Amino acid sequence: MSRHSPCRWMLAGALLGSLGLSCTPPEEPFPNQDELEVLQSLHTPSALPPKDPTNKYGDNPAAAALGLRLFNDPGLSSCGTVSCKSCHDGEGRSVDTAVAQGCDGKFTGRNPPTVLNAGYSTWFMWDGRADRLWNQALLPLLSPLEMNSNAGLLRTRLSEGYAEEYRALFGKRPSEETDDNQLLAHFGKAIAAYERTLNRHDAPFDQDVRRFLAAAEAGKAEQDPAYLGLKTFVRKGQCSACHKGPMLSDDQFHNIGVKDLGEGQRGVAVAATPMLDWPFNSAGPYSDAPGGLESARLQRLRSDLNEKASELEGAYKTPTLRNVQLTAPYMHTGEVKTLEDVIELYDKGGEPVGNYAGVVSVSIKPLELTAEEKKALLELLESMTGAGK
Contact criterion met (CB below 8 Å) for 93 and 327? yes
Among 241, 276, 357, 359, binds ligand HEC (CB under 6 A): 241
Positive/negative CA dihedral, 28, 34, 39, 42 = negative
Shortest separation between residue 348's beta carbon and ligand HEC, angstroms: 11
Contact criterion met (CB below 8 Å) for 292 and 386? no
Among 39, 66, 98, 118, binds ligand HEC (CB under 6 A): 118
* Residue 282 CA, distance from chain mean position: 19
**Should residue 108 be labelled a site residue for ligand HEC when binding is judged by CB under 6 A?**
yes
Among 191, 209, 228, 312, binds ligand HEC (CB under 6 A): 191
| Exposure class string for 102-137: b at 16+ Cβ within 10 A, else e | bbeebebebbbbbbbbbbbbbbbbbbbbbbbbbbbb
Shortest separation between residue 309's beta carbon and ligand HEC, angstroms: 17
Beta bridge partners of 317: 253
Among 186, 243, 322, 374, binds ligand HEC (CB under 6 A): 243
Among 23, 42, 68, 87, binds ligand HEC (CB under 6 A): 87
Choose between 23 and 266: whose C-beta lies nearer to ligand HEC: 266
Residue window 136-175: x/- pattern of binding to ligand HEC, with contact defined by CB under 6 A: xx--xx----xx----------------------------
Segment near ligand HEC (CB under 6 A); pick from 13-21, 105-113, 160-168, 200-208 = 105-113
Choose between 23 and 116: whose C-beta lies nearer to ligand HEC: 116
Among 39, 42, 98, 100, binds ligand HEC (CB under 6 A): 100
Chain residues 9-68 in contact with ligand HEC, contact rule CB under 6 A:
none
Choose between 102 and 284: whose C-beta lies nearer to ligand HEC: 102
Among 151, 230, 239, 298, binds ligand HEC (CB under 6 A): 239
In degrees and rounded to multiples of 5, residue 375 shows phi and psi of: -65, -45
Contact criterion met (CB below 8 Å) for 157 and 80? no
Name which of 313, 231, 310 is nearest 271 in CA terms.
313
Choose between 43 and 243: whose C-beta lies nearer to ligand HEC: 243
253's enclosing H/E stretch is strand 253-254
Among 254, 266, 322, 374, binds ligand HEC (CB under 6 A): 254
Which spans in the chain are helix H? 10-18, 33-42, 61-71, 84-87, 133-136, 138-142, 151-170, 180-195, 204-217, 227-231, 268-276, 292-307, 309-312, 339-347, 371-382
Contact criterion met (CB below 8 Å) for 121 and 133? yes
Contact criterion met (CB below 8 Å) for 41 and 251? no
Residue window 298-327: x/- pattern of binding to ligand HEC, with contact defined by CB under 6 A: ------------------x-xx-x--x--x
Query: Measured between alpha carbons, how far is 296 from 220 in angstroms, rounded to an integer?
Result: 45
Q: Which residues make up the interface to ligand HEC (CB under 6 A)?
A: 71, 82, 84, 86-88, 100, 102, 108, 110, 112-113, 115, 118, 121, 124-126, 136-137, 140-141, 146-147, 191, 237-239, 241-243, 254, 256, 258, 316, 318-319, 321, 324, 327, 330-332, 339, 342, 346, 361, 363-364, 377, 381
